[in-house]
Structure 1
Amino acid sequence: MRLADVNMERRRELPESRRPITQQLVLELLNDAVWAPNHRLREPWRFIFVEQGSMGGLPDRSATTSARLIVVMNEEADPFKQREDFAAVCCLIQNVRLLAWERGLAVERTMPEWIYDGELGRSFGVRDAERIVAVLELGDADTPQRAAETAPGRLRFDLL
Structure 2
Amino acid sequence: MKLSDLVGEMSNPIHFLNRPVPQELMLELLNYAIWAPNDGLREPWRFIFADNQNGGLMQGLQEPAPAYLLVVMREEADRHKREEDFAAVCCMIQNFRLLAHEHDLGVRCTLHDWMYDRSRAETFGVLGSERIAAVLELGYVTAHLKEKPEAPELQLRFELL
Normalising by structure 2, we get a TM-score of: 0.87
CA shift at 1:25, angstroms?
Answer: 1.1
Q: Residues 55-77 of structure 1, C-alpha deviation per residue, up to 9 Å, x if partnerless?
A: 25533432xx1100000100001
SS in 1 for 2:77: coil
CA shift at 1:89, angstroms?
Answer: 0.3
Taking the aligned partners of 2:42 and 2:61, their CA distance within structure 1 comes to 33
SS in 1 for 2:137: strand
Distance change (3 Å), C-alpha of 1:151 and 1:115:
farther
CA shift at 1:113, angstroms?
Answer: 1.4
SS in 2 for 1:108: strand
Q: What is residue 22 of structure 1 aligned with on the other side?
A: 22
Normalising by structure 1, we get a TM-score of: 0.88
Note if contact 1:15-1:143 (Cα within 8 Å) is conserved in structure 2: no
Taking the aligned partners of 1:56 and 1:137, their CA distance within structure 2 comes to 10
Taking the aligned partners of 2:155 and 2:67, their CA distance within structure 1 comes to 33
The CA RMSD measured in Å over matched residues stands at 2.1
Distance change (3 Å), C-alpha of 1:154 and 1:41:
same
Taking the aligned partners of 2:59 and 2:9, their CA distance within structure 1 comes to 32
Q: What is residue 95 of structure 1 aligned with on the other side?
A: 95
Q: Residues 105-136 of structure 1, C-alpha deviation per residue, up to 9 Å, x if partnerless?
A: 11110001111111000001100000111000
Post-superposition, which runs of at least 4 consecutive aligned residues in structure 1 deviate over 6 A? none
Q: Residues 28-82 of structure 1, C-alpha deviation per residue, up to 9 Å, x if partnerless?
A: 11011011131232110000111134225533432xx110000010000111111
Distance change (3 Å), C-alpha of 1:56 and 1:141:
closer
Note if contact 1:114-1:120 (Cα within 8 Å) is conserved in structure 2: yes
Q: What is residue 156 of structure 1 aligned with on the other side?
A: 157
Please list every run of 5 or more consecutive structure 1 residues that lacks an aligned counterpart in the other structure: 145-149
Q: Residues 83-121 of structure 1, C-alpha deviation per residue, up to 9 Å, x if partnerless?
A: 110010000000000000011111110001111111000
Structure 2 counterpart of 1:38, one-letter code: N
Please list every run of 5 or more consecutive structure 2 residues that lacks an aligned counterpart in the other structure: 145-150
Taking the aligned partners of 2:137 and 2:59, their CA distance within structure 1 comes to 16
